[in-house]
Every structure is written in C-alpha cells, then in structure tokens.
Structure 1
Amino acid sequence: MARRDLIRPIFGAALGLGLAAAVLMPRLPAFAEAAPRRLPEAATRSSEAPGHHVAIFAGGCFWGVQGVFQHVRGVSGAVSGYAGGARADADYRTVSGGGTGHAEAVEVTYDPAVIRYDELLRIFFSVALDPTQVDRQGPDQGRQYRSALFPRDAGQAQVARAYIAQLDAAKTYARPIATRIEPEASFYPAESYHQDFLALHPDHPYIAANDAPKLDALMRLFPERATPEPVLVNRPPA
C-alpha cells in the first residue's frame, strides 16, 4: 500500500473523515530525488493542427500532476484518471492493488496555438515528477505510480521519444530516464473525489509535503507559462 493511503481516504464517502484525521498527523517527507529545474526546450517540436488536442501524462500520484497542468496557460482541462489497463479495472480500489496495468494518469486538453505538446513535455519533466524513479514516485510505490506517456498519435510518440533521448544524451539526470512510452492506451476518469484535489485541499498533509512544491516550482521556473487560477474539473456554479 502506498504511504499516501495511510492518510487519505480510499472512498469518497470517507473524504471528510480522512481530512479531519490528517490534520492531526505530521507531514510526510517528500521522496523526490531530482530537484525541479527548468529543462531545455525540445529540439524536436510538435507540429499540430489548429484546435484542441489531448495528451496523457502519468507521474505518480495524479493529484500533483493534475494540479500542475491545471495552472498552465493554454490548458483548458486536466482530469485525473487511469490509463494503461482495461475499463473494468478502472477504479481506485482495484488500481491500487498494482496488478491492473493502469497508471494513475492525467488527461490534459490543450490549445497548441498557446502551448505545444513538446512544451507540455518540458513542464512535465521539469516540475511534475522525478523521471528516473522506476515504478514509484515519491512515497508511492507500485506499477500504478510509474512514470509514463500515453501518446494519442504517431506525432506525439515521436516528439516524446525524441525529448527523452535528448535529455538522456545531455546527461540531464544522474540516472537514465525511466519514463515509459505506451501508445494506444485508453483513459478512464477517476472518481469525483480525486478531481481538483490539490486546488480544494492545499493543506492536506500529503499535498503540502509532495505536491504543493511542484506547483510552486511551476510558478517559479515557468512564470510565463503559469496562471494563478486553476482550470477545474468541478467548476463552481456561476
């Protein structure tokens, strides 16, 4: 079981009790081994038709990855969910067992006229995860927390492979990048209580220790790409 599951509820009905209990517990330490940094631009740039596009990223707990992309200019949606397995297994309790093939992932909808796929990759690798960790991220361990990209077409796959090769060739990290490229995977949205978690619960001990620093790094390292207001899945009524 991942350490975050010791301080967060598994089911939506337990959310209130989980948050109430969490305030009495000490913050868990962050386990990231590669500090956030502003990585170089991709040498291979995306060529995308006008209109909205979708990209899927997995980098450990989807709370933090979603929280980062919700604050990126040009992103109109970021949804936490599961990718890499079957529809029948796409629920939190089953995925948490680690044997479904799913990774916790985030589906990002973006406008390439504002931010291209290769620029999203740059932000992802710079601030959203430590891409050298294998089948874990921070305090969470298991294949469901692997680092992975799920390209939606051949163009995304080519750009993703080229950027990973570029970073490895430059010896950006002390260890090789472990991020997997897994094409032709379906995405299934996660339960509603997982959506907008960073935005709604910034003081949750897991968020404060592991995910808020990622958002801080986005604002600090990419101020030209960041927006203070998140794009929420569950938008409040007007």
Structure 2
Amino acid sequence: MKTANRLTALVLSIGAIATALALNGQVHAGEAAVIIPAPVADIPAGSTHTETAVFAGGCFWGVQGVFQHVRGVSNAVSGYAGGKASTAHYEIVGSGATGHAEAVQVTFDPTQVSYGKLLQIFFSVAHDPTQLNRQGPDSGTQYRSAVFPTTPVQRSVAEKYIAQLNASHAFRASLATTIEADSGFYPAEGYHQNYLTLHPNEPYIAINDIPKVDNLKRVMPAVYRADPVLVRRTN
C-alpha cells in the first residue's frame, strides 16, 4: 500500500535502477490504456464556462497528473471524497475505514471539454476501472474506482456510460466503478498537490503514473496539453 514508509531499504536500493528502466520505456504501469468509444450520452455545452467533476481512481497523484494535462481543465485538485470532513486527512484515510476515496476534483470549461470526454479519459487512461478496491500496488477501499457526480445530469451520463461500456465489453471484465453521492470534496494536504509534476523521477511515479500521461498523449492527442495546469489553491 502507498504509505509514508512504503519505500523500504530494499526499494531504495533498487529505486535508481527501476527509475532508469521506466524512463527508458522498459518498465510499464500495471494497467495499460484501453481504447474505448466516447459516451453515447453526453452533456451539451451551454453558456457556462466553469463546472466541476470528481473522480476517484486509486492514488490521486496519477489521476491528478492526467487531468492536469487535459485541454479545457483549469484546475485539478487531489483530495478526499465519500467521508466526513473530520476524517479527511491522509494518515486517517489510509486506514481504509473512513469511507473516503483518494479523489480528484476537476474544474473544467464544458465549451472546451465535455463531462463525457472527462469520463472517457478517466476510464481509458487514468486508471483501471475493473479493479475492485485497488489500483496497481495500492489496495483498500480508499483506492476504489468511483465517480462522485456533482449534478443529476452528471449522474445520468456516468450511469449510462458505465452501462454502455459493460454492454460493449470494452474491458475484459465488468467495471467495478461505483457512482456515489456528492457528500463533499476535501482538498488533500499541500504536499500531495502537483505531485507527479514535482516528482517525475520518483520510482512510484515513474513506473505507475508517468505512463498514464504518456498514454493520454498517445491515445487522445486532441485533448492533450504539454504544459500541466498546476493547482492554484487548495481551499
């Protein structure tokens, strides 16, 4: 599990080698991109230029990093969703008993990128939605795949898209993604923000998360932005 002391002496001793291999394309993330169709049902762009969406797909470092490279996204904040404000702290959430999932709140301009497109990115490259209560090396309910719709229309689009993907057998297994009530989003501690951008050579990031950003560029070049949008504030 991803904890403060996960890099043991053994991992530290092989970290430099693992990073070098990852950066040379010889080590890949546990989950590869899956080419999937866009949602049949989506939310048409209106006159508003600012909306929010909340996604949980394992460690928030990688999910945040992916959405920071999406055109039309103006902010992507790592945080916690699904639990109470009093337990929205990294060490407590790590117990797996708070109801929280590590999540990312995405602020976007729907005239540039639709909610449906964000869902497509989320399912295709940001994580493996078929894994139950885990992603790659991390396990526990805090690493579950979940969507937290902020409006009834978002909920409808997410429900229909999950049904569409399952019916088309886009993945080798049914999606484990849950659609949960928007009970509040709580930004994570400052040191978690922009983590992928600030620590691209850390073995965990190089092996598990950098390939996700590379997949976004390869699979969806029309929405990829080279310069990430960085978190402006967390409260």
TM-score normalised by the chain length of structure 1: 0.88
Question: What is the aligned partner in structure 1 of residue 183 from structure 2?
Answer: 185
Which sections of structure 1, spanning at least 5 residues, go unmatched?
9-17
Distance in 2 between the 1:128 and 1:78 partners? 13
Question: What is the aligned partner in structure 2 of residue 143 from structure 1?
Answer: 141
Distance in 2 between the 1:187 and 1:48 partners? 24
Question: What is the aligned partner in structure 1 of residue 97 from structure 2?
Answer: 99
Question: What is the aligned partner in structure 2 of residue 199 from structure 1?
Answer: 197
The one-letter code sitting in structure 1 at the alignment partner of 2:116 is D
Which sections of structure 2, spanning at least 5 residues, go unmatched?
20-26
Question: What is the aligned partner in structure 2 of residue 36 from structure 1?
Answer: 33
Q: CA deviation at 1:4?
A: 5.5
Question: What is the aligned partner in structure 2 of residue 170 from structure 1?
Answer: 168
Q: CA deviation at 1:209?
A: 0.7
Q: CA deviation at 1:37?
A: 2.5
Q: Which moved more, 1:226-235 or 1:194-203?
A: 226-235
Q: CA deviation at 1:194?
A: 0.3
Distance in 1 between the 2:28 and 2:92 partners? 25
The change in CA–CA distance for 1:4 and 1:203 in structure 2 (over 3 A counts) is: farther
Question: What is the aligned partner in structure 1 of residue 23 from structure 2?
Answer: none
Distance in 1 between the 2:28 and 2:152 partners? 35
The one-letter code sitting in structure 2 at the alignment partner of 1:102 is H
Does 2:116 align with 1:157?
no
Q: 1:73-95 deviations in whole A, cap 9, x for unaligned?
A: 00000000000000000000000
Say whether the 8 Å CA contact 2:58–2:134 is kept in structure 1: yes
Say whether the 8 Å CA contact 1:157–1:183 is kept in structure 2: no
Question: Alignment partner of 1:79: what SS?
Answer: strand
Question: What is the aligned partner in structure 1 of residue 227 from structure 2?
Answer: 229
Q: CA deviation at 1:205?
A: 0.5
Distance in 2 between the 1:194 and 1:102 partners? 16
The one-letter code sitting in structure 2 at the alignment partner of 1:91 is H
Question: Alignment partner of 2:55: what SS?
Answer: strand
Distance in 2 between the 1:225 and 1:38 partners? 15
Q: 1:7-42 deviations in whole A, cap 9, x for unaligned?
A: 46xxxxxxxxx9xx9764434976735x20231011
Q: CA deviation at 1:97?
A: 0.5
Say whether the 8 Å CA contact 1:195–1:234 is kept in structure 2: no
Aligned residues: 223
Q: CA deviation at 1:46?
A: 1.1
| Moved segments of 4+, more than 6 Å | 28-31
In the alignment, which of 59, 62, 65 is matched to residue 61 of structure 1?
A: 59
Q: CA deviation at 1:173?
A: 1.2
Q: CA deviation at 1:162?
A: 0.5
Question: Alignment partner of 1:47: what SS?
Answer: coil
Identical amino acids, percent of aligned pairs: 52
Say whether the 8 Å CA contact 1:123–1:218 is kept in structure 2: yes
Distance in 2 between the 1:48 and 1:183 partners? 24
Distance in 2 between the 1:152 and 1:88 partners? 21
Question: What is the aligned partner in structure 2 of residue 47 from structure 1?
Answer: 44
The change in CA–CA distance for 1:234 and 1:22 in structure 2 (over 3 A counts) is: farther
Q: CA deviation at 1:6?
A: 3.8
Question: Alignment partner of 1:148: what SS?
Answer: strand
In the alignment, which of 122, 127, 146 is matched to residue 129 of structure 1?
A: 127
